[in-house]
Structure 1
Amino acid sequence: MSKHLDAEVVPYNEKDEKNTATTAVVGAPIAEDDVAKNDLELVSANLEEIEAKANAMSNEQCHNIIAKLYKIHQHDQNFPRTALDRMEEFLGRPQHETEELAKAYSHDELLKEMKIEAVLATENSPYLEVRANVDPTDDPTLPSLTFRVLILGSLLAGLGSFVDTLFANRLPTVFISANVAQLIAYPCGRFMERFLPTRKYKTFGKEWSFNPGRFNAKEHMLIAIMANVSFSSGYTNSIIPTQAMPFFFNMEFARSFLYQFLNTVGFTFVGYGLAGLTRRFLVYPSVAIWPSAFAQIALNRSFHTEKNEPVKGPFGIWRISREKFFLVTFTMMFVYFWFPGYIFQALSYFSWMTWIAPTNVNLAAITSFAGGMGLNPWPTWDWNVPNANGTIPLTLPTFTIINQFIGVLLAAFVTIALWYSNAWNTGYLPINTNKTWSNAATRYNVSKILDSKSNFDNAKYQQYSEPWMGAAYIVCFMIYFAMYAATLLYVILYHRHDIAMGWKSLKKTFKNPFRKHDHHAEDDENDLFEDVHMRLMRVYPEVPEWQYLIVLLIAMACGMIGLGIYPTGVTPATVLFGVLMPLVVMVPCGLVQAITGMPIPLNVLAEFIGGAIKPGSANSLIYFKTYGYIAAYQGLSFSSDLKLAHYLKIPPRHTFAMQLWATTIYCFICAGLQNYILAFKDVCTPDAKFGMSCPGANTFFTSAVFWGTLGPARLFGSGKRYTLMLLGFPVGFAVVGVYWALRKAFPKKEWIRQLHPVMIFNGGAYWGPPLNMSYFIGNVYITVFSFQFIRKRYTAFWAKYNYVLAASFPAGIAIAALVIFFGTAIPKDGQYATINWWGNEVLGVGCEGRGCPRLKLPEGEVFGAPVGSGLFT
């Protein structure tokens, strides 16, 4: 055995424990001399079987596989550097040397190691994250689309859609996560397994039963996927109040159920059609691991795995099963979250530095959790806080988190420099605000620049104010522009091979779209590109691309009808223009997300393009942004769900049917609740009962006027105030170009390989106001401890428990939050029960929470061009 392979792969056997004095433990060394750095991160595998397959592999076959592996993964930050180095050494050998060494195979450690790597790549996955959570085998006889799935999935999809839609306009919001549905589904599934009749029936020649046997992992995950697609508060919850309420756009047609339903179907199903059409780029390839999916897979596995191998970890040998570990840690977090979530909320917003001097403007600007830069080394004791910027602790790789953290720090320092230099008059505004301001340093009132029909009125505009942005908001926009440029160039330079392979596969399907789908009988390189999980899926009939295309076209038709038969003032062609954007950006942005775990938010790009195409029309911008941004966002979310089904080996047609069904349930419930929500007293105002103040709708309205009515040309056009912000685009290209040059100049420098320019910009974009470093630093500590300390020292322990913990803590928080809301914060005249003491009241003291400007305007004065000067262009 190679000294480069850790000997921790010995599998545990209960019989060994009973009959011998020494228990085989995963993570325990076979011999002291045989323990070295685990280059290939081989764990929880049958070493004898792997070595047998490696011995049977020819040297030529091994060389070909390693060459293709190196080509695919040489720029992959998820792939271990040590393994790449060994591949380079192996591939750099002269051919005659390889042939000579082949004669003495038993003494050639490098050749043995490369054969094991080749077996891992072809018989499992090159990634430890995948091997730790996903079985490289399948039982095609296991039922997946069953009566239990249909009933439980429909009920949970309906419940989640109802709660998420009803409370989407509440501040703070209440929602049910898909993990909660996964938790509820298991005991319900086992209950149905026990009490439903097992009699078999035949329908259309196919045999079925209400109770086909044990409630299995495929059924459980299919229910979770149904929850994923339906547990979301879509843009409908922001668009309808924005259009319907009299103090917004006052469009009476927006109260029509048919209008609401048609547009909800259009918004939602367009993304689903796009997800299906891009599967060969974003789901099938082995490099598309979708790191954020492993928490759900681990949760599913914890309930359905019968294997419980002891592992060596901190403080000795751990024998607790995944299921028990989940239940214990879930309970611990459920109990603990009552403190930061209700009893002692200062633990959540642990802005201890500003407590020293609450009114100190400079201290608050730099260290404040809410309203400042959040430069606080320990800002929270709440596990839920790092979730605020879209990351789930313990799921994203170290390179993603560290690169984002670099972006967070750079954005913070640039923001501080802008604020203290008073560039663009930012010193008169709070440093970290995502609100738009007037030249009197008050909140910008967009109603003052609109006429009675909510159209732009230039005369009113000249007598009021230009819109102004705070320092953090300006930096955030610049970073967004840089991120979009960097994503485009990075994907061209480093993922063109992945795109070429996906396009090659896609072209074959369109040459004969109605042929019987054998989905992927490709050459050896494509097999390697796809991995064992793709090959296992070949046993199931595929959903052809033309069916996804029909879904896309029907969704577009619904959206166009919704625009055409109502007096929206917007041409139905807006849907076509809107869908063009996700068609262009879905694959490059999706590849980045599938590898790093972080999405590329396209909202700013959609607003910028939509406002430029048709300036002066807020309603046009609403639809363009929705189809350009939300369609891509939901499409990538559906792609992640397709990967979940792919990992669990759920037949594609079953996934297709249940995703469509659950999404349809969501569309009916979401549209059906809109008028009920609009009937709440004082809805979408600060005086709204039950907290229904519609923060999303208020932001959406301001954004629609800002980008649609005013338009980007007034802000970013030639010679305008914020033109310099467009430098973000060339900066993004330049940074990726410099990175590419450094990689070429120093190919062996691992720290350069681990840099990811897109994730650096992504960190700055996700950090953007009102978030800050306080929301991010906790995830850095968690990730480094887990991935760099635990994973390297206790690989088997990490593989067994890391993602289970990543699922249990958020589930405990979600259940605790629901109990806190419904059990202790029951509304009474719009007021909620709280514990009045320092630990809850300190949160809003001084500049904490609202932010304080550095400079103060003399009474009656404004900054910028004088009002009435005609200089507001």
Structure 2
Amino acid sequence: METTDDANGVPASCQLPKKLDHYDEVNDSPIEQVRLTVPITDDPTLSCLTFRTWVLGLISCSLLAFVNQFFGYRQNALYVSSLSAQIVVLPLGNLMAATLPKKALQLPGTKWSFSLNPGPFNLKEHVLITIFANTGSNSVYALGIITIIKAFYVRPISPVAALMLSQTTQMLGFGWAGMFRKFLVDSPYMWWPANLVQVSLFRALHEKEKRPKGRLTRLQFFLVVLTSSFAYYIVPNYFFPSITALSFVCWIWKDSVTAQQIGSGLRGLGVGSFALDWSTVAAFLGSPLGTPGFAIINTMVGFFIVLYIAVPICYWSNVFEAKRFPIYSSHVFDINGAPYNVSRILNEATFKFDQAGYDSYSRIHLSIMFAFTYGISFATLAATISHVALFHGRSIWQQTKVAFQDQFEDVHTRIMKRNYEPVPQWWFYSLLLVNIALALVACEGFGRQLQLPYWGVLLAVGLALFFMLPVGVITATTNLQVGLNVITELIIGYMYPGRPLANVTFKTYGYMSLSQAIMFLGDFKLGHYMKIPPKSMFMVQLIGTIVSTSVYFGTGWWLLTTEDNICNPAKLPKGSPWTCPGDDVFYNASIIWGVVGPLRMFGKLGVYYKMNYFFLFGLLAPVPVWYLSRKFPEKKWIRLINMPVLISGAGGMPPARAVNYICWGFVGIFFNIYIYNRHKGWWARHNYILSASLDAGVAFMAILSYFALQMKDINGVSWWGMALDDHCPLAKCPTAPGIKVEGCPVF
């Protein structure tokens, strides 16, 4: 559990500053996890933007962008994170340092010279290359719009407009990041837990450490776990995929729909389900080893309340006709339990909603879990605003008053201010204004192919600005990010209904500009911890974003224009991998929110209008916690209750499943509560390195087995364990009388 730093037992990440002049007396971070992980030293003489940085950084950025977009269209999507590049570039950097000439090169006709090899490959070069790689591993959300236009709606779009859309949605975040650096980077209480994994790995790879007697150095520990993770992952990835979800309840009651709904870890409540696969643990929720203990507890409490109290009560009492549909599914259905036929409600000639077709067909229905997912999203956004206002409002106000002073800082902020020049604020504002102007051109120009008018662009970026600080505070203190994708769909769906492309474009500008800003700020905090010059960080992020977005766009456009019938499984050759499962969900969302509209989903014309009460619930939920924390300051645990995190606990379902949550929670509680409290020395030395090495081993084996075996259709022996399934086929069945679904009994 998170430790406390004051006499009242207030957790460090939640404390408000008592006296601003006290910060000059702080010799280290007020957050214990940071003190245990991040060094308070710096060597400002180390070179940063070297020839090696640019070459390895741009190659890493481009390769990751190409690979992730290329495999993103395939049935079995493969995602390669920046962690893989972080490890691979170390020997390459050392090789370049050992072989490149050290003599300075003079540019002809100028006085400017540079060296291909300024000395040994150093830590700061490695950090900047990893930041390059991180921009390449961060997908371009706008390509979903381009894909559904060309492959699903089969409509034309100008490549210039498509490229401008891609670049502006990725670049707008720079402006918001610049505005809130003072609050979300310089503040010692905004500690960005996920960065501590990276810091631990960098230190293990670069610091010279004497091996303790009878123990391993951190680098040796990393290599041992990496090798073990790499070797083991061939089992769940290739030989025995079924161990990614083991659901024993289903195996005992093979003919019971109810038992399989309760026991299935993939399509049900997951009671008794577990996995023997690290990718199941970290797939959707990220590594639990990098998430603070109090955030894990909040998440799991929210998960249990929703999945084991709210969902069963609503399902078995048949709320929203829930028994007509699976208990867990991300698809949409008609009133008879069949998959919803969107062609019956969309006029292909006018590309607009067909009211007559809708009236003669059916309203849209969701599984009860999917309905709760939307309600959870509504409540989480409202709770985020009220939580930050109540718990961090005073701190934010004090920071605002001293924004141009040097009082609100810790040792890391003092080092950065003493050794390096900050990025001028006008750089961020200029980028913001330029990208807003280009976004307006992309939407208003080119025959308004994206359907979104100028006011929609301005409203979208305004929403991102409004939510930037509360979402940033939650992310920077809990490692859990709230998305704006649902609320943006809801708003534009009400204001501008019947236009699917306007809906998804508005969503992308609102959701992605905020998401990118969070990513930029997280990278800035990593640079803050590693003492990277801010201007170098800015240049790498800027160039990396432009290059990676261009590569993502080029790869996507190439596949969409050259691969026949891409994203259309009905017309693809048998066994073709180009099925675009992620874009299919994006397309269905454009129909639900853009064509049918939220009025017929969550308004008075829809089935799920009562879900709007979740907004009120979320807004009020933090109030009693705040009141009790003030009334009983001696009760340490009260302030550890984070209502936005608790409410959003089950918000990742779908696509996350019950087995993902169960395994994630078990591992996280064991390491970040039990080990953290009982064996803090081991935790400080090994916890984050363990996380990085497990992730890297899985990534490397996934890439190797895909290219060496699966891509060539070389599969193992056919047996029941080869199914990527938990063998609970009846868990997907409805239980309402008379509903007929293939493979299911009729009640």
TM over 0.5: yes
Cα distance in 2 for residues equivalent to 1:417 and 1:200: 73
- Where does residue 799 of structure 1 map in the other structure? 684
CA spacing shift, 1:126–1:720, aligned 2, 3 Å? same
- Does residue 265 of the first structure (1) align with residue 167 of the second (2)? yes
- Where does residue 566 of structure 2 map in the other structure? 683
Which string of whole-angstrom CA distances, capped at 9 and with x for unpartnered residues, describes residues 670-709 of structure 1? 1212232223233112354642211122111111111112
CA spacing shift, 1:357–1:271, aligned 2, 3 Å? same
**CA-CA distance at 1:834 after TM superposition:** 4.3
- Does residue 446 of the first structure (1) align with residue 342 of the second (2)? yes
Taking the TM superposition and a 5 Å limit, the aligned residue runs for 1:259-338 are: 259-308=161-210, 310=212, 319-338=215-234
- Where does residue 776 of structure 1 map in the other structure? 661
Cα distance in 1 for residues equivalent to 2:455 and 2:154: 23
- Does residue 536 of the first structure (1) align with residue 415 of the second (2)? yes
Which string of whole-angstrom CA distances, capped at 9 and with x for unpartnered residues, describes residues 487-521 of structure 1? 11110011113322443355x4xxxxxxxxxxxx5
Cα distance in 1 for residues equivalent to 2:2 and 2:358: 66
Letter in 2 for 1:664: I
CA spacing shift, 1:680–1:720, aligned 2, 3 Å? closer
Task: Decide whether the 8 Å contact of 1:308 with 1:319 is kept in 2.
Answer: no
**CA-CA distance at 1:309 after TM superposition:** 6.5
**CA-CA distance at 1:447 after TM superposition:** 1.7
Taking the TM superposition and a 5 Å limit, the aligned residue runs for 1:791-870 are: 791-827=676-712, 833-841=715-723, 843=725, 845-847=727-729, 851-857=732-738
Cα distance in 2 for residues equivalent to 1:359 and 1:677: 44
Letter in 1 for 2:133: A
- Does residue 622 of the first structure (1) align with residue 504 of the second (2)? yes
> Which one of the candidate residues 436, 446, 450 is aligned to 1:566?
446
Taking the TM superposition and a 5 Å limit, the aligned residue runs for 1:174-323 are: 174-201=78-105, 208-245=114-151, 248-253=152-157, 256-308=158-210, 310=212, 319-323=215-219
The worse-fitting range, judged by mean Cα deviation, of 599-608 and 194-203 is 194-203
Cα distance in 1 for residues equivalent to 2:163 and 2:605: 43
- Where does residue 369 of structure 1 map in the other structure? 265
**CA-CA distance at 1:847 after TM superposition:** 2.2
**CA-CA distance at 1:471 after TM superposition:** 0.7
Task: Decide whether the 8 Å contact of 2:142 with 2:508 is kept in 1.
Answer: no
- Where does residue 344 of structure 1 map in the other structure? 240
Q: Which has the higher contact order (CA 8 A, sep 6+)?
A: 2
Which string of whole-angstrom CA distances, capped at 9 and with x for unpartnered residues, describes residues 15-59 of structure 1? xxxxxxxxxxxxxxxxxxxxxx9988xxxxxxxxxxxxxxxxxxx
Cα distance in 1 for residues equivalent to 2:543 and 2:179: 19
Cα distance in 2 for residues equivalent to 1:38 and 1:547: 37
The worse-fitting range, judged by mean Cα deviation, of 574-583 and 711-720 is 711-720
Cα distance in 2 for residues equivalent to 1:859 and 1:130: 56
CA spacing shift, 1:145–1:858, aligned 2, 3 Å? closer
- Does residue 554 of the first structure (1) align with residue 434 of the second (2)? yes
Cα distance in 2 for residues equivalent to 1:227 and 1:501: 36
Cα distance in 2 for residues equivalent to 1:420 and 1:77: 43
- Where does residue 18 of structure 1 map in the other structure? none
**CA-CA distance at 1:283 after TM superposition:** 1.1
Task: Decide whether the 8 Å contact of 1:302 with 1:322 is kept in 2.
Answer: yes
Cα distance in 2 for residues equivalent to 1:825 and 1:858: 38
Task: Decide whether the 8 Å contact of 1:229 with 1:638 is kept in 2.
Answer: no
CA spacing shift, 1:124–1:489, aligned 2, 3 Å? same
Letter in 2 for 1:544: P
Cα distance in 2 for residues equivalent to 1:859 and 1:327: 53
**CA-CA distance at 1:233 after TM superposition:** 2.2
- Where does residue 29 of structure 2 map in the other structure? 125
Task: Decide whether the 8 Å contact of 2:452 with 2:506 is kept in 1.
Answer: no
**CA-CA distance at 1:295 after TM superposition:** 1.2
**CA-CA distance at 1:79 after TM superposition:** 7.1
Task: Decide whether the 8 Å contact of 2:38 with 2:199 is kept in 1.
Answer: yes
CA spacing shift, 1:135–1:858, aligned 2, 3 Å? closer
SS at match of 1:716: coil
Cα distance in 1 for residues equivalent to 2:429 and 2:703: 39
Letter in 2 for 1:852: C
Cα distance in 2 for residues equivalent to 1:858 and 1:653: 62
- Does residue 721 of the first structure (1) align with residue 623 of the second (2)? no
Give structure 1 stretches of 5+ with no counterpart.
1-36, 41-68, 92-117, 311-316, 509-520, 861-873
Counting matched residue pairs gives 728
Task: Decide whether the 8 Å contact of 1:366 with 1:372 is kept in 2.
Answer: yes
Task: Decide whether the 8 Å contact of 2:3 with 2:12 is kept in 1.
Answer: no
Letter in 1 for 2:381: Y
- Where does residue 786 of structure 1 map in the other structure? 671
- Where does residue 654 of structure 1 map in the other structure? 536
Cα distance in 1 for residues equivalent to 2:174 and 2:283: 25
- Where does residue 595 of structure 2 map in the other structure? 709
Structure 1 length normalisation: TM-score?
A: 0.80
SS at match of 2:277: coil
> Which one of the candidate residues 480, 488, 506 is aligned to 2:377?
480
Task: Decide whether the 8 Å contact of 1:478 with 1:726 is kept in 2.
Answer: yes
CA spacing shift, 1:258–1:778, aligned 2, 3 Å? same
- Where does residue 74 of structure 2 map in the other structure? 170
- Where does residue 54 of structure 1 map in the other structure? none
- Where does residue 700 of structure 1 map in the other structure? 586
Task: Decide whether the 8 Å contact of 1:404 with 1:759 is kept in 2.
Answer: yes
**CA-CA distance at 1:809 after TM superposition:** 0.3
CA spacing shift, 1:70–1:121, aligned 2, 3 Å? farther
Which string of whole-angstrom CA distances, capped at 9 and with x for unpartnered residues, describes residues 693-738 of structure 1? 1112211111111111222122222474322111101111232112
Cα distance in 1 for residues equivalent to 2:2 and 2:484: 39
CA spacing shift, 1:746–1:653, aligned 2, 3 Å? same
Cα distance in 2 for residues equivalent to 1:816 and 1:501: 49
CA spacing shift, 1:490–1:460, aligned 2, 3 Å? same
CA spacing shift, 1:165–1:212, aligned 2, 3 Å? same
Which string of whole-angstrom CA distances, capped at 9 and with x for unpartnered residues, describes residues 192-218 of structure 1? 110111123567766642111111111
Task: Decide whether the 8 Å contact of 1:578 with 1:623 is kept in 2.
Answer: no
Taking the TM superposition and a 5 Å limit, the aligned residue runs for 1:573-652 are: 573-652=455-534
Letter in 1 for 2:624: V
Which string of whole-angstrom CA distances, capped at 9 and with x for unpartnered residues, describes residues 240-264 of structure 1? 121112xx322212xx432221111
Letter in 2 for 1:669: V
- Where does residue 407 of structure 1 map in the other structure? 302
Which string of whole-angstrom CA distances, capped at 9 and with x for unpartnered residues, describes residues 298-345 of structure 1? 1111111113463xxxxxx65311111111100000011111111111
Percent of paired sites with the same residue: 31
- Does residue 759 of the first structure (1) align with residue 645 of the second (2)? yes
CA spacing shift, 1:391–1:841, aligned 2, 3 Å? closer
Structure index of larger Rg: 1
SS at match of 1:691: coil
SS at match of 2:729: coil
Task: Decide whether the 8 Å contact of 1:148 with 1:192 is kept in 2.
Answer: yes
Task: Decide whether the 8 Å contact of 2:268 with 2:658 is kept in 1.
Answer: no
SS at match of 2:347: coil
Cα distance in 2 for residues equivalent to 1:165 and 1:346: 27
- Does residue 386 of the first structure (1) align with residue 281 of the second (2)? yes
**CA-CA distance at 1:810 after TM superposition:** 0.3
- Where does residue 53 of structure 1 map in the other structure? none
**CA-CA distance at 1:417 after TM superposition:** 1.0
Cα distance in 2 for residues equivalent to 1:79 and 1:549: 30
RMSD: 2.5
**CA-CA distance at 1:667 after TM superposition:** 1.8
Which string of whole-angstrom CA distances, capped at 9 and with x for unpartnered residues, describes residues 362-412 of structure 1? 111112011112122x51111111223322121111110011000001111
Taking the TM superposition and a 5 Å limit, the aligned residue runs for 1:662-681 are: 662-678=544-560, 679-681=562-564
Cα distance in 2 for residues equivalent to 1:858 and 1:782: 40
- Where does residue 522 of structure 1 map in the other structure? 406
